[in-house]
Chains A and B, each alone.
Chain A
Amino acid sequence: MASVGKIARRTFLIGAAAVAGGVAVGYYYYRKPFANPLETDLGKGEATFNPYVKIAADNTTTIVAPRAEMGQGISTTLAIMVAEELDVGLDQIKVEHGRASYAYYNAAILEEGGPFAFFDESMTAQAVRSGLGVVGKLLALQVTGGSASTRDGFDKMRQAGAAARHLLIAAAAQKLGVAAADLETANGSILHKASGKSLTYGAVAAAAAAIAPPTEVKLKDRADWKLLGKPQKRIDMLAKVTGAPIFGIDVRMPDMLYGTVKMSPRFWAKPVKVDLAKAEKMPGVIKIVPLETNYGHGFGIIAQNTWAAFKAADTIDAQWADPEYPLSSAAILDVLKQALGTKGSAMRDNGDVDTAFADAPREKIVEADYAVPYLAHATMEPMNATARFKDGALDIWCGNQTPTLVRQLCANAVGIEQDKVTVHTTFMGGGFGRRTEMDFSLCAALMAKETGGRPIKVTWTREEDMRHDAYRPAAVGKFQARLGDDGMPVAVDMRIASPSVIASTLRRLFPSISPVGPDKSIVDGAYDQPYTIANYRVSGVAAPVSIPVGFWRSVGSSINGFFHEGFMDEIATAGKIDPVELRKKLMAAYPAAVKVVEKVAAMAKWGEPLPAGKAKGVAFTLSFGSWVGEIVQVADTPAGIRIEKVWIAADVGTALDPGIVEAQLISAAIYGLSAAMGQQITFADGMVEQSNFHDFDAMRIFQCPVFEVAILENFHKMGGVGEVGTPPAAPALANAIFALTGKRIRTLPLSTRVAFA
């Protein structure tokens, strides 16, 4: 277990430091050493207590939730953390994204060496500051940062609310001439029970803000929570059911121009021959400009409206240089398989795997080769950004997961200082990792240099979006197990090859930095699972294919959940052991995992006989600190295989909003099932073959199973929720199809081998 222990400590280091850091330094930052950014634009009668809270004389309370909302409900959950300690109801508050202050605040934490800024700013700093180990650090920050908003905010946000409440009580005590200890708070008011006198927060806000903040605040015990731990109404729901203009694509400004891009369909390739004349003459087209970014080359079309820009882009006749990577999916697969033949880096190596296999009798060996394709994110809102470059200053409006990086890279691109760039982060019509990229922002920034100061909204077509992603990488895996006489595995050897997400990301964002060391994301979800096997090795190999790859919901675990759990099912079958029993035995050292497996099995009535033509499959993945088991039930129907029901049990440690947690688990499972059923990005002639939802579809409502979810809180540390439902979905489905049909499908998407109803 030595190496698992080591890995576990390393993996948790960032998370643990973040929590500790929040407790130790969190409150300090609300006042010192940096100015509270809310102070610079307070409205009349408004008072602010820290970067997260301001209260007006009329008792209007504004909470800043400094994270981008892409559907995961984070703006609601962060606001609840403050509201809980401030003693205000959710119907009494306004929640803002916290634009300028948001970027500033994260930079501030970083300068102090704070352990847990948003990953973007940390990525920059880490890259500059640290030579060796940069890859591992970047990756850890991305993975933890990408799924840990609630963990990061849990102490900071509650302390912000508690500190403001403390000051309001102190001011009320002065005003009423009573002891602070005799005052109570509820629903934005302060009550002196003995006299029956009460004051609103607004009535004492100005006086309270003038009092020196406390050095220490006491947070509520969990037993006293009124909002946290219970399902709340999302603060963004009304806007989203009324069609309010909240997304990047909805930005409208006086005198605004419209545009789109046509980038090389071969990544990194330059145009060798182009005729713009016909496109330039089309009605509504103002100008076509060349675009060169770290993401590739192409053209920006500036027009009077989006439709004119789309039509012109379609008319551009260009030939592009040959790509630097293999032309076809088959040739790319060859490169991956070649990489699989090399040794790679063992991220887990228990016992002595080579010796364990050396004398293994043939009939005790289980072997399998697995493969998964490239995948697009395909957010519902296509990539877009609006930019205005006027009087030497750049403003960018877009949904993005990384505002400080947007600021930095756009400043570089247009050749101005970062302090001349303002990033306005909007709601996102889906993120899933796609909006960590800079391409849409960079294109808009460059095009804004060509419009004489007029703002321009640059919207990509769906086709452009589908063909210019930072894709979930393709991967191949070679798996081998030796079974003991009892059917249980005594040795398992897993080798996985995939293009490196971190190397690809560095090329796009910081091309001057060379990746150092192995990319852990290649084996995430395989090397870090709570199984005990005497001889257990998981190795990763970075395959040299330079098609852009990036962070796709659950990253490496989206690949390795399928590989690992598909192979575990094969071991169970070969060893004639029930797959649930196999897992419980192998996970015995991890009680949280066993409880999850037991729970999901009980919910699904695992083991009870099913009618003919129905079957179930199970899978489990620990990712982003949460332990998730899923069981999928499929049925054979005349129209094909139907996914009837999915049971999910997830131990997230602490569920701050069980309603949002459940919605995220279902969402992530559907995301994983969609990919497993039918999605793949393939290449021909160096270009992506798919273009739109007709050839890269996702689950539809008529395919959607019934879900049953159990949220457990057994583990002592809080886990993430946005991604953790994805990894077990594909293997649970594939294992169910094996149980139904006897077909062991080891290559995704499953639709290449079976039809779905």
Chain B
Amino acid sequence: MNEVARHEPQAGVPARERRSSAMRPPVDIYEEDNALFVVADMPGVTRDGLSVEVDGNLLSIEGEIGIDMPEGITATYAEAQAQRYARRFTLSHEIDAAAIEARLEKGILQLRLPKKERHRSRRIEIQAA
């Protein structure tokens, strides 16, 4: 397992370097009246390996790829070149961070970022004159 050993974060490695060895998952982001939606491709990530965090207005998505590899495997070709995914977004003030919901299915992370009540769009009826 020496050549394709797990990439454990080492204490001596500065955070910035560790971050550079993560892949940037592709995302789709769209908006509905009451919420924003983020969909990210993170194949290989299980519930245990996933972390979704909001710190202030910063949303961090991180996931560890959990694939069991046989002993003594050597890589001959690699398009995925990291053990983990990471991506961050800044949120706007109308997002209700406490109410964010996450779902992970078949390696796809779906986030629902609800808007605070008073920011929800309201349909304005047009009165007849």
On whether the two chains bind one another, the answer is: no
